[in-house]
Structure 1
Amino acid sequence: MSLKRLAIHQLRNIESAELVPSPQVNLIYGKNGSGKTSILEAINILSLGRSFRSHRHKALIRQGQPGVTLFGRVSGEGTDLSIGVSRSLSGEAILKANGSPVGSVAELASYLPVQAINSDTFSLLEGSPKVRRQYIDWLVFHVEPQFFNTWKTAQKSLKQRNSLLRHDRIRPEQLTPWDRPLIEATEAIDTFRAGCIEQLKTVFNGLVHDFVAVDDLVLNYYRGWDRQQRYADVLAAGFDQDRKQGFTRQGAHRADLRITVGGLPAADVLSRGQQKCLVCALKIAQGYLFSQLTGRRCVYLVDDLPSELDGDHRAMLVEWLERMQTQVFITGVEKEALEADWLNKPETEVKVFHVEQGKVVPFEQGQPHQQVTE
């Protein structure tokens, strides 16, 4: 997939910006606070209905404006459609594809798969298991058609079960109507996740040493309960403790991707630079496997690349992005630093955009692109 056109209206400090990106590499430079990261943020919102910077919708809207509106034209793999997202100060969200309402954020996400690499991405190692579950489920969502509905069933059943557990005199049989769908959905989710992780490990192991030369680096999938036990038995055996604590302590909602070096958490062993390289390898492996399994390509958003990686590892990331033949948007403060990694790649179509005080100008032409229509 690639984004052919992008229109931004009233997003943070960008009043109005319109871009016709390259289907390959787009370099966006400008001073800190100029609005360059907001361009990546706009693409992420078009993909997921939300920002990678904040879940607060009011923070997205330019001061004094009633709402933010984004439009994009997506093409590739036989698809050509327009997508749009608008958010008002009241919180109302309108999602559209080809002018028609989109039923869910999940449907929106299927049109424009996006991978973001930014400063927050490094919480993949240091953050809570929830962050790593989200990493796992991005891939599972895009390659397993039944996953999302199964996940919704599990969430609904878990919520109802936890609500009942908070009643002092609850009996095990009263949980049965919710335990049955929860058990079925949980086991299906585990099967989906385990299958994807096994394939991911194969891809990851084949490329990780390009990014970080560390021995005994291992990815292990933890399902959220003892692998030797059936989930039905886990719920039955844990009833008393679950009731005392008022929530279901084990299950797919506790799954994790454990990343270790010599048996120790990678975040405790690796330097900050090595951690950044490892996270890049995880993100590249995920996009690479996504392409292998679906025949599609995701869009990569890389924020402030020159400051996050040293020259050698930046060159390695660039090499892998080019090898994947995916569309890339990369930001940085200095134009020369961004361009340096692509100077010896004449076969790659590179566009450069300058952002200053919320204004976006293609560097080559010195004039904004023509207006993008909905």
Structure 2
Amino acid sequence: MSRQPTFSNTIHLRDFIDAIVDDPTRENAPKYVEIQTDINIFEEDGFCSPNIIAEPIRARIHAYLTRDKRDFYDPNTFFYADGRFSATLSADNTLEISIQALTLMRHPGDVADFDEYRRHLPEQWCPMVTVIGFVQSRNDNSLDPSQPRRFTVETSVYDTLNTGPVQFSVACFLENTKRWQRVKTPTSGALLSVTAKVAGRTTDTNHLALRILDLAYLPRPGTAAAASTPTVTPPSKRSRRWEGRAGPSTPSKKPRTSERASEHLNPSHMNTSPLDDSASTPPAATGGGADLLPTGDTESPSARASSSTAAGPEELSLSLVPSVTPDSETRPHRSRHPPRKYADFE
């Protein structure tokens, strides 16, 4: 790879403290410490391979601890830690794991009485890691087909101590179980995310040996942002269940004057009864101020205007309704006599 990107490779472990000292990589920083330990490695669930050495691996954990909390991390204290890690070879060609602790906790109890302290500790447990990297070209023709399949992942993590990326490789093993029988060995150049347990170190390359628990293929950098042709997804049957429904309706408004007038003309709106013949006769207009005045041609336009103004809105609407009597018949008119107070004017 021409330029290896950095990833967030993490490790989670729980083990015993061998020693705790000031961090040698940070001068004049007494609150930064280095926890030295040999992380616990053992064969688990019958998983073994002649290509793996299941022995403890030296680890150096860099963490930030105040002086009062540092006193709780004595030797033989059982602790829990997780953070970014890198696995590289030391000066004497020994595999060593460097961890930038993000979380660090101790198991409660009095370490001075170690026999009582260890009675409440959890059982042995191999460290777990999550590694993201590229698959290197394979050269496993010499491996026995009865042994777990193997491939190498090259990765890189940013080291805050050296203020730069640290590249390293890990050897991944697929055990011979039904779960992994049909899983093909990843091809060279594939970008993977691997979750695994630390099984030891390899005999030939002295790389960190990982027993795969899960793996996932990731898009290569730069290809995720490439333009892709949008795919048209056919509508599901569930979405068609909402078709054919009635649209939203608004509440009806109050009928206008013309609508109320048409209701009087439509016999279907009348409350008719087969025993009542009067229902077929349209209702007579109620008397108003205009009925008290003489109906003749001598009526002045101003009087007609005043009479229409004095009438209510309902009476006015009824006066606009045309007569429902046939054109051939003449509507009878009652002879009306003015009140006595108008008799002197005749």
TM range (shorter): under 0.3
Give the structure with the higher percent strand: 2
The structure with higher relative contact order (CA 8 Å, sep 6+) is 1
Give the structure with the higher percent helix: 1
Compute the TM-score of the two structures, normalised by the length of structure 2. Answer: 0.21
Compute the TM-score of the two structures, normalised by the length of structure 1. Answer: 0.20
